[in-house]
């Protein structure tokens, strides 16, 4: 099992515009093979931070997720509002950072 923590810094005031496209992506992602959980959180103290917290059965399942059309739709919808993205993939023995 692996965890993913994707921290996004967004433009001021962008949260409302991002919520619906993110929700659509979440619904479809939860149907994917290997997805154990997939959640989105808005920071309580920084309105310009949102965090996806994901749990996947395998790295291969996560790799397949990265190629899904609904994820591409989310990337396109979020691109105009995104300032920075940091992704950490937590394995039992190591952490990948992007």
Classified as helix, coil or strand, 12 is coil
CB atoms within 10 A of CB 14: 19
Query: Domain holding 51: CATH number?
Result: 3.30.70.100
Nearest 10 degrees: Cα torsion 63, 67, 71, 77: 130
What mean pLDDT do residues 67-83 have? 97
Among residues 66, 98, 80, 75, the alpha carbon closest in space to that of 22 is found at: 75
Domains identified in the chain, total number: 1
pLDDT at 43: 94
Alpha-helical (H) ranges within the chain are 15-29, 59-65, 69-78
Q: Both tokens of residue 59?
A: 């790295």
pLDDT at 54: 98
Q: For residue 90, what are the domain limits?
A: 2-97
pLDDT at 7: 98
pTM of the model: 0.92
Give the DSSP per-residue string, 31-49: TSTTEEEEEEEE-SS-TTE
């Amino acid at each position: 099992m692996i965890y993913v923590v994707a921290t996004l810094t967004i433009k001021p005031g962008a949260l409302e515009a991002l919520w619906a496209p993110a929700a659509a992506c979440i619904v479809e992602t939860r149907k994917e093979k290997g997805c154990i959980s997939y959640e989105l959180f808005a920071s309580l103290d920084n309105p310009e931070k949102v965090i996806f917290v994901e749990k996947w059965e395998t790295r291969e399942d996560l790799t397949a997720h990265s190629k899904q059309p609904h994820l591409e739709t989310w990337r396109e919808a979020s691109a105009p509002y995104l300032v920075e993205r940091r992704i950490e993939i937590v394995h039992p023995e190591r952490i990948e950072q992007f």
